[in-house]
Amino acid sequence: MSDHLQKPVLFTTQKAFASRLTLATLTGRPVRISQIRPSSPSNLGVAPHEVSLLRLLEAVTNGSTIEVSMTGTIVNYRPGLITGSAPGSGAHGGVIRHEVPAACTRGVSYFLIPLCLLAPFSKAPMNVLFSGQGVITSATPAGDISVDSVRTAILPLYAKFGILKDIELRILRRSNPGTRGKGGAGEVQLVFGHQVRLPKTLHLLNPGRVKRIRGVAYCTGVPQSNNARMIEAARGILNPLGADIYVFSDVSSAPLISSNDKANPNGKIKIGLGFGLSLVAESSTGCLFSADVASPPSGGAPPEDIGQQCAYQLLEAVAAGGAVSLVAAPTILTLMSMSSEDVGRVQLGKDVLSADHIIDLGRDMKALGLNSWGFRETTIGQDNDIVVSIVGKGVGNVGRKIA
């Protein structure tokens, strides 16, 4: 059936909005998402971060059509070819510059994780620069992880699928959530230059044991002593459990934006102040488990509490079992579904597999024509682990095939 005759796959509510659009783009299936915040008195329809994601998808693809209803409660999306930063497709000088609006309350990882999933299947390398007052590089109260965790706990997993060259994530300017969780004025650049026809089939069945812990403590516009206090608090919990622990300290000044004061047109104000901690545990078999905590936008949380909370969160991620953490599971499962037509296997903890967004991901994949998952109990690792088997669809990189 030709693309213009395909009926759209129907979804409801804004839940898993980014995931559904990403899967639709990878599979080339049109989707219709309705009932997006239909009864909200103040935020009816699509939110600023969702509109920004639609614009980003339009920039990295060629031939996509996006229709949003007058009320914003219905979105029709018909994906095109993933072109990346190819000349003439929205890139200027080989770079796509995407500005995030100031009203955005989601971290920039909300955009980075879907973009990384699309990049291996792009016709040309992906080079996207995120700027604007809405760029937040730290973890957010909405549940987004920091850019540091994307760089150290998500991107290394692509090597397991044979995708490992010319991949770089640069934090050009750090920022934390501002007032009411909005704005940060950070700057991040993603360079993803390794495109493949099909990802390799994954067999990840041995979680191993944690052998090292790495991390980044960051502060923006606040005293650097906050980093030392967070590191000391986290080490107080982790040191008895392992000797190979190193946490890097990054101190940066707060971004300056216009004050919009008529009495002082040249006035500047600082935004994006705060601090946070990102920790990653690596096992003997190369499995990664991450934790991410940042100071709340309202303030009032001492650095010691942030450090302890992040350390305990890391221990919970390891205790959940499996070879993949809850944060990285959607990326792993999506790449397994898009790989060659062979059976891939991955070991997940029951707590990871039973999470609501993982269950929704499996249902959305089936609705979009990808294969269902198979389950069996594991023979290696913890008793509460499950081996998930997925047969790849073999769709692959259509743009690379045409080129």
Q: Parallel, antiparallel, or unpaired: how do β-strands 373-377 and 385-391 relate? A: antiparallel
pLDDT at 283: 94
DSSP string spanning 106-161?
A: S-THHHHHHHHHHGGG-SS-EEEEEESTT---S--TTSPPPHHHIIIIIGGGGGGG
Contact at 8 Å (CB) between 119 and 254? no
pLDDT tens for the chain, 403 residues: list them.
445 568 999 999 999 999 999 999 999 999 999 999 998 888 889 999 999 999 999 999 998 999 999 999 999 999 999 998 877 666 777 899 999 998 898 999 999 999 999 999 998 899 999 999 899 999 999 899 999 999 999 999 999 999 989 999 999 999 998 777 787 889 999 999 999 988 999 999 989 899 999 999 999 989 999 999 999 999 999 999 888 999 999 999 888 777 776 677 777 778 889 999 999 999 999 999 999 999 998 888 999 999 999 999 999 999 998 999 999 999 999 999 999 889 999 999 999 999 999 999 999 999 999 999 999 988 765 667 899 999 998 876 655 444 4
Phi, psi of 230 (to 5 degrees): -65, -45
Please report which helix (H) or strand (E) contains residue 374, including its range.
strand 373-377
pLDDT at 394: 81
CA–CA distance, 93 with 342 (Å, rounded to integer): 39
Of 382, 389, 358, nearest to 206 (Cα)? 382
pLDDT at 89: 60
DSSP string spanning 261-309?
A: BTTBTT-EEE---EEEEEEEEEETTS-EEEEEEE--TT----HHHHHHH
Of 320, 281, 285, 121, nearest to 203 (Cα)? 285
CA–CA distance, 140 with 180 (Å, rounded to integer): 11
pLDDT at 398: 56
Task: Retrieve residue 136's tokens.
Answer: 């937040």
pLDDT at 400: 46
CA–CA distance, 328 with 321 (Å, rounded to integer): 13
pLDDT at 150: 97
pTM of the entire predicted model: 0.92
Tally of helices (H runs) and strands (E runs) in the chain: 10, 20
Please report which helix (H) or strand (E) contains residue 365, including its range.
helix 356-367
Q: How far apart are the first and last CA of the chain?
A: 23
Strands (DSSP E) contained in 20-125 are 31-34, 61-62, 65-68, 75-78, 81-82, 96-99
CA–CA distance, 269 with 193 (Å, rounded to integer): 37
Return the DSSP state at 179: G
